[in-house]
Amino acid sequence: MNIIEIKDLVKIYDSTEIEVTAVNHINLNFEKGEFSAVVGPSGSGKTTFLNLLGGLDRPTAGHIMIDGIDLWSLKPRQITDFRLHNIGFVFQSYNLLPVLTAKENVEFIMDLQGWPKAEREKRAKELLEAVGLGDRIHSRPGKLSGGQQQRVAVARALASKPKFILADEPTANLDSHSTENLLDIMEKLNREEGITFIFSTHDARVVKKAHRVITLEDGKVLSDEKK
């Protein structure tokens, strides 16, 4: 069952003197429970593609249907709300809120969703334990290593019970040990809880673990291979 349907997606940047087509007529579908990697050289349009998919950037043309809803037919407020309830994000630079502890960072998104305090505290602890940070719940991001911060970011992305998680080069700033650790956690969550992950990556280790690899070049889908 398709969770995401992308139809003729185009993104053209014309802010500079030269018009750049970052995403060029992409048609793709993603099923629930996929563990997919979007790969390609720098400038191939991976990040732009993920931004469009996450409702962070408006496409020049085309449609993104998520569970039958045309994402970009929604008003800006509704798109933000849609992201809150349907999409989880993991960023390359972790992007945790530095003034909040690991637990508070995970709770934050549930707070936005209006969860009762006791329930969100319980879930935040469970998620942090699931990513192996049960003993660091009161640490602020500045006191955590890069790998630990990225695991908090994964816990945060999972907290809102999203339909899928978009991870933009999640291992780019991690050492090999942290990368292996993070990938194991995400693969386990995908396998055991059926969570859909879509990565953009350069990292061969991520590609190796992915069940589907979509290669982009000059904004176009060069290949789409399922393992």
Partner 1 sequence: MNITVIAWRNIWRNKRRTLITTASIFFGVIFAAVMSSMQEGSYSKMIDNVVKFYSGYLQIQLEDYWENKTINNTFVLTDTLLQKVHQSKEITGISPRLESFALASSDQLTKGAVIIGIDPERENKITNPEKWIIRGRYIHHGDQGVIMGNELAGYLHLDVGDTLVLLGMGYHGVNAAGKYPITGIFKNPLPQFNKTFVYMDLPLAQGLYSAPNRITSLVLMVKDHYHMPPARKALKSFIRTPYRLMSWDEMQPELVQMIASDRMGGKIMKAILYIIIAFGILGTVIMMFSERKRELGVMVSIGMQKTLLAGILFMETFYIGLLGVATGILATIPITTWFYHHPIRIAGEAAKAFLDMGVEPVFAFSLMPSVFYNQALTVFILIIIITIYPVVKTFRLDISNALRT
Q: Strand pairing partners for 139?
A: none
Does 171 help bind partner 1 (rule: CB under 8 A)? no
Distance CA 204, CA 156 (A): 25
88: number of Cβ within 10 Å: 25
CB of 28 to partner 1, least distance (A): 20
Which H, E and C letters describe 34-56, residue by residue? CEEEEECCCCCCHHHHHHHHCCC
CB of 106 to partner 1, least distance (A): 10
Residues of this chain, 74-113, that bind partner 1 according to CB under 8 A: 77, 80-81, 83-85, 89, 91, 93, 95, 97-100, 104, 107-109, 111-113
CB of 95 to partner 1, least distance (A): 4
CB of 30 to partner 1, least distance (A): 19
DSSP 17: S
Distance CA 104, CA 101 (A): 5
CB of 138 to partner 1, least distance (A): 14
Nearer to partner 1, 7 or 140 (CB): 140
* Interface mask toward partner 1 for 46-75; x: CB under 8 A: --x--x--x-xx------------------
Do 149 and 94 form a contact (C-beta atoms < 8 A)? yes
Distance CA 113, CA 170 (A): 24
Pick from 44, 150, 160, 179: which binds partner 1 (CB under 8 A)? 160
Q: Can you read off the two tokens belonging to residue 204?
A: 């061969």
Residues of this chain, 111-150, that bind partner 1 according to CB under 8 A: 111-113
Name the strand (E) or helix (H) holding 200.
strand 196-201
Pick from 46, 136, 151, 156: which binds partner 1 (CB under 8 A)? 156
Name the strand (E) or helix (H) holding 7.
strand 2-13
Contacting residues toward partner 1, per CB under 8 A? 48, 51, 54, 56-57, 77, 80-81, 83-85, 89, 91, 93, 95, 97-100, 104, 107-109, 111-113, 156, 160
